[in-house]
Amino acid sequence: MPSYAVIGASRGIGLEIVRQLATDSANTIFAVVRDKANSPYIATVASFPNVHILQADVVDHAALKVAAVEAASITGGTLDVLIHSAAYMDVTFMSRGLTDYESDEQLDAELTKAFQINALGAVHSINAFLPLLRKGTVKKIMVLSSEAGNRDMTWQMRFSGMAAYGLSKAALDMVMTKYAAQLERDGFTVFALSPGPTDTGSTSNLVVNELNTPEMQELMKRWEDSVANLDTSMMPVDQTVKRVLILLAKLGPADSASFRLSEEVRAIQV
């Protein structure tokens, strides 16, 4: 009976991952959310008997360890797969470059928060659940990342915006690589993937209209111009997640430390 912990499951892609995994009664899923009381969309999966909702913020390492203990009490101390979906991207600052902030203090605050949640949050999440994963049979860690943190693509696009988000996602990719190197001898599969542009408006406060800004349109155009035949249209969240889960099941230790581009995810036939 495979067991999964989904970190950042209160909305969007993380929530849809929980929902789709829960349709298989053989799975045991731990949906880790920052605040149960203020996660209105989590009710859509709460009725599944194989879903256990745990509360922990990724910036609170103590709470994550408590959540891991709760999960261990249900599985007998094991976990097969950890999916890290938690992320931070403030619409107000989303498109800004490193010289676009009103003050150095504002720049420091935004970059620090992005790093704390997007990179350090993954470290705390993985560390908390790693003792369980070591006792599991599948031993997989999947981190949801973004091409915004890809150095080669950033240079190819000549894109200076999305600085805080991009820097923190680049750090997240290195976090993934460090764990892949550390856990290789233990048979782990550790990888990152970019799900690509996804319409999460039905289960997220970050609705499509907020992403439909001139800055985002410029980003999408540059992205399309830099990658031949790239589809940057919004994919429905259920379709994105179907493809993500197919890739998750397919990859093994030989794929560890890899970053799977969104074009690979989108090309998967379902």
Active site residues: 165, 169
CA angle 68, 189, 136 (to 5 degrees): 40
CA 202 and chain centroid, separation? 18
Q: What is the identity of the amino acid at 243? A: R
What single string gives the DSSP state of each residue in 69-117? Answer: HHHHHHHTS--SEEEE------TTTTT--TT-SS-HHHHHHHHHHHHII
DSSP 8-state secondary structure symbol assigned to residue 184 = G
10 closest CA partner among 36, 30, 29: 36
3-state percent helix, strand, coil for the chain, nearest multiple of 5: 55, 15, 35
The Cα 31–Cα 29 span in angstroms is 6
Asked if residues 266 and 243 have their Cβ atoms less than 8 Å apart, the reply is yes
Burial class (CB in 10 A: 0-12, 13-18, 19+), 19: buried
DSSP, res 57: -
80 vs 215: CA distance, rounded Å = 40
